[in-house]
Structure 1
Amino acid sequence: MEFLTVRSLATLLDLSEQTAYKLLREGVIPGRVKVGKSVRFNKEAVEVFEEGKIKIHYNLSPSLSS
């Protein structure tokens, strides 16, 4: 089983590290594993998420209310 750092996760998903941390805090990305004080992601779970096999929808832009 292979694990990704937040930096590797951001690269794989083509996100900034800041966005990756935001999604981490919000629990959007699956496969999170705590290793001491560090966080890693199960690479297989992230790849399934990326391929769209897990249907989680997240809007990165704030909604505009008039």
Structure 2
Amino acid sequence: MDGAELLAVTMVSDDGLVHCRTKAEAGAIKAALQDRIEECELEMHPDKTKIIYCKDSNRMIGNQSLL
């Protein structure tokens, strides 16, 4: 990524949701976030940090529908 593209980011408390266009883009952003978080001596929660597909209106995370 060259940084010129805009991505939608949703933050709730200490959780975040990044909307990406491709799985490759999601993987690159996840890796960049991992690096930055480690620089701050923090860590990403392994059970909560995932790449999911949510383009279809019938996709769910937990009990919340992603529309």
Q: TM-score range by the shorter chain?
A: under 0.3
Greater RCO (CA < 8 Å, at least 6 residues apart):
1
Counting strand residues as a fraction of each chain, which structure ranks higher? 2
TM-score, with structure 2 as normaliser: 0.26
